[in-house]
Amino acid sequence: MGSIDIPLKDKIILITGGASGIGLALTKQSHDLGAKVLVADLKTTPDFDSYISGKSNILYVQSDVTKWSDFDKIFKACEEKWDDVPDAYGVCAGLFEPPWGSFWMDQEEDGYAQVRVNVDHPVKLTRMAMRQSLGRGKRASVCIIASIGGIAGSIAAPLYCATKHAIVGFVKSLKDTESLTGVKITTICPGAVATPLFDPAKVKQFSFSDHKSLRPETVAKHMLELIQKKEYTCGTMLELSMTGTRELPEWNIPPPQGEGTGQELNAEEMMKALLGPIKEKLGREKESKL
């Protein structure tokens, strides 16, 4: 089972963080393509409220992506509105070293919110997308926003970069799963983007320059290509900067050789053992909804 084109016309796309920034740009462009748009966000914005006014094919569900129980609420709303589950997912909700939850300020007492939003939420939602699609016997496409910070680092934003590295590693790990689940997983790694995440303090600290930064609309455009086009196969990691795009290889250096490196796991018998429990679990999920 290889990747397929998934044009969004008349399809359902779930967008987390879809009321502002890149998520809002993705909401608008998806609707322009004729999609049914399910937006999950903590709160709306004036721009979002104005845009969705009178549009029956956009449904907003107030939700907190750090609460996994809210995902059930989102999927329930989708079933009630369209009697179906999403065909596509734009995973856009994220945090960028907020002063109340950053590595250096370190004011949190019960875990890091950035990890819950930037890592736990896309990982859990991806797993739920697989389960939902298997239950309906349908294909789906998930695109998660990572960052150039997910392939580099920043002394001023170590926790943010660590969360984005996690997403890159997560998507790499799922590159061979589409044949098992019918769900394609990709990620986009943009450079600096002019969004509300760059508040005045961050503009100063990170020497942010508006004319040297990507537009949210540009990122959304490339996310839609990753979601819809089969040439972007499962596991694709697309870097996006002002100079254009390039697909990132799994290894930027020659992969390690020899026993114990994990590179010998392509042997047929070893692969069967590796995938055995996964196939059994996915089979039960598929049968439970039939």
Residue 265 has pLDDT above 60, yes or no: no
In a shared domain, residues 202 and 290:
no
At a CB cut-off of 8 Å and minimum separation 6, what does 194 contact? 210, 213, 214, 215, 216
In a shared domain, residues 174 and 272:
no
How much of the chain, in percent, has pLDDT values that exceed 70?
A: 94
In a shared domain, residues 263 and 197:
no
The CATH number of whichever domain residue 181 belongs to comes to 3.40.50.720
Report the chain's mean pLDDT, rounded to a whole number: 92
In a shared domain, residues 74 and 86:
yes
Please report whether residue 6 resides in a domain: no
Per-residue model confidence (pLDDT) at position 261: 47
At a CB cut-off of 8 Å and minimum separation 6, what does 93 contact? 16, 17, 23, 40, 41, 42, 65, 117, 121
Residue 264 has pLDDT above 60, yes or no: no
**DSSP string covering 23-79, please?**
HHHHHHHHHHTT-EEEEEESS--HHHHHHHTT-TTEEEEE--TT-HHHHHHHHHHHH
pLDDT in tens, 177-218: 999 999 999 999 999 998 888 888 888 888 888 888 899 999
- Angle subtended by helix axes 68-82 and 121-136, to nearest 10: 40
In a shared domain, residues 84 and 20:
yes
Per-residue model confidence (pLDDT) at position 288: 72
Residue 239 has pLDDT above 60, yes or no: yes
Please report whether residue 137 resides in a domain: yes
Residue 260 has pLDDT above 60, yes or no: no
Model confidence at 1, pLDDT cuts 50, 70, 90, reads: confident
pLDDT in tens, 126-158: 999 999 999 999 999 999 999 999 999 888 899
In a shared domain, residues 181 and 119:
yes
The domain total for the chain is 2
Residue count (the chain): 290
pLDDT in tens, 90-125: 999 999 999 899 999 999 999 999 999 999 999 999
CB 26 within 8 A of CB 220: yes
Higher-confidence residue: 72 or 257? Answer: 72
- Residue 93: which domain range? 12-252
Please report whether residue 148 resides in a domain: yes
In a shared domain, residues 261 and 150:
no
Where do we find the tokens 């999950």? 40
In a shared domain, residues 261 and 183:
no
Per-residue model confidence (pLDDT) at position 2: 83
In a shared domain, residues 137 and 260:
no
Per-residue model confidence (pLDDT) at position 7: 97
